[in-house]
Amino acid sequence: MSIPFTISAAVVAALEADTELAGVTVVDNPITPSALEDGARVVFVEDRDDAPLDKPGQAEGRTFGFIVGVINRTAGARAGADADMERVKAVATLAARNACTSLLEGKQIVKFQYPREMQRSYRVEGLDVGGALITTRFEIDYRLPSPARAAT
C-alpha cells in the first residue's frame, strides 16, 4: 500500500473507533455529495494530493495533504460542528502520526514531520449540507528511503 493510502486509512479507522464520536457517520473518500446525506452528524476524510517536496541527494521528500470534514445537522449545528471538529482534529493528527511512526519503524519512510493543520473552511461551493459544515486540511511531510537503500 502507498504511504498516503496507509495514512488516510489509519485516520478513517481511528475516527470510526473513537468512542467520543460514537453515532457519527464516518465516510471514507466520498465520491458524490449524496454520500454525505445520511446522518445528523457526519465526518468525512478526503485524500487531496501527494506531491514532491524536494529531492536533495537521493531521498525524495513528499507532502501528503488530506481534508477532514464535519457536518452537523442537529439543533445546535454550528456549535456541534465546532465541537466535532475539535475532537476530529485530535483523533486525525494522532492517527496520522501513529501511522507515520509505524511506516518509519517498517523502514517505508525514513523521516516525517508531525501532521499540521492548515486551512479551515466553513463552506464548500455547490454543497448544501442542511446544517453546519467545517473542513480542515492537514498536511504531513515525509521522506522516502533513497532508491539505493530501498533496493537492499
pLDDT (tens digit per residue) in 98-111: 999 999 999 999 99
- Residues 95 and 11 sit within 8 Å (Cβ to Cβ): yes
* Confidence (pLDDT) at 120: 95
140 vs 149, which has greater pLDDT?
A: 140
The region of weakest confidence among 52-56, 81-85, 100-104, 113-117 is 52-56
If you write DSSP's letter for every residue of 66-100 in order, what string do you get? EEEEEEE-STTHHHHHHHHHHHHHHHHHHHHHHHH
pLDDT (tens digit per residue) in 58-86: 678 999 999 999 999 999 999 999 999 99
CATH of domain 3-151: 3.30.2000.10
Q: How far apart are CA 1 and CA 47, in angstroms?
A: 14
Give the DSSP H/E element, type plus range, for residue 29: none
Q: Where are the domains of the chain?
A: 3-151
Task: Please state the φ and ψ torsions of residue 23, each to the nearest 5 degrees.
Answer: 90, -10
